[in-house]
Amino acid sequence: MDTVLAAPTPTPRPSGGLPSPTTTAGERAAALAAADAVARPTEKMSAHDLHAWFGKAEALKGITLPLLERRVTAIIGPSGCGKSTFVRCLNRMHEVVPGARVAGRVLLDGQDVYASQVNPVRVRRRVGMVFQKPNPFPTMSIRENTLAGLRLGGEKAPDPAGLAEKALRQAALWDEVKDILGRSGSGLSGGQQQRLCIARALALEPEVLLMDEPCSALDPIATARIEELIHGLRERYTIVIVTHNMQQAARVADYTAFFHLGELVEYDRTDVLFTRPSRQRTEDYITGRFG
């Protein structure tokens, strides 16, 4: 029996005066701080004393971190500190690496995704993922790529054309591809391919979207498009974004977690973490003293 995975009733968005996505990051942070101080958003997911190993090497050393509903959480930290491992533990992808192991709890709507009766495939369905390098399937058309997640899961959408259009619109790609849906996905630009991969994740109608350095292979214009897209998606999804780029974290994330050597050093509202960090290690990192 698959207890975690009954779809939850969507919680209404708090009417705390959140600004529209067109406001500046500073305005948004201030309004968000005011709204979140009155009513802290629900924890859509959370990690509790999460440890992860590759063989004998411990990559995560007891991470406890909330991921608030319909907020963007950035994970920052130097290379090798465990950012990718952390997000891969959230949707049970870490365990597919031979010799990899996880201990601790990861809650999704309050239920442990590592509980023995839970099917990891269903977890991955609810917690979607977008990778660093855009990876559309080269032999599939744009439409087929958008629907590939369903097809791989052996599902048939009742209205595939409608679902593909909806996902491509949400990924802000529809206008650019609506007349070439039958062409190969690999013929698109890097930024378009990444939005296609985001559409592919969204077609599965996840509740949480994990993005592991989604812009690191993109130029500044394509990066700006993805950041704009994240601003729109935060209205519906809980988003976790791993980034090496601190300016990007400051622009897109409501909350930021700083990892170092497999530990969570600090977690706070993004504006607070970047302007008034409470730990010396955070300050050293954000001021470029190491990393």
CA 83, CA 243: separation in Å to the nearest integer? 9
Least distance CB 241 / ligand ATP (angstroms): 12
- Residue of the chain from 28, 71, 83, 143 that contacts ligand ATP (CB under 6 A): 83
The mark string for 93-132 relative to ligand ATP (x by CB under 6 A, - otherwise) is: ----x-----------------------------------
- Write the CA distances from 146 to 35, 163, 164, 192, integer angstroms: 35, 9, 6, 12
- Residue of the chain from 82, 128, 134, 136 that contacts ligand ATP (CB under 6 A): 82
Per-residue tokens: 8: 């939850």
Does 85 contact Mg ion by CB under 5 A? no
CA 240, CA 87: separation in Å to the nearest integer? 8
Q: Which is nearer to ligand ATP, 26 or 80 (CB)?
A: 80
Residue 152, classified by CB atoms within 10 Å of its CB into exposed (0-12), middle (13-18) or buried (19+), is: exposed
**From 13-21, 76-84, 219-227, 264-272, span contacting Mg ion (CB under 5 A):** 76-84
- Report how far apart the first and last C-alpha atoms of the chain are (Å, whole number): 45
- Residue of the chain from 47, 59, 76, 257 that contacts ligand ATP (CB under 6 A): 59
Number of residues that bind ligand ATP (CB under 6 A): 12
Least distance CB 246 / Mg ion (angstroms): 15
Does 84 contact Mg ion by CB under 5 A? yes
Q: Which DSSP string do the residues of 21-50 spell out, in sequence order?
A: TTS-HHHHHHHHHHHHHHSPPPEEEEEEEE
Query: Of ligand ATP, Mg ion, none, which one sits near residue 82, judging by CB under 5 to 8 A according to partner kind?
Result: ligand ATP
Does 84 contact ligand ATP by CB under 6 A? yes
**CB-side neighbour CA atoms (13 Å) of 73:** 27
Does 290 contact ligand ATP by CB under 6 A? no
**Binding footprint of Mg ion on the chain (CB under 5 A):** 84
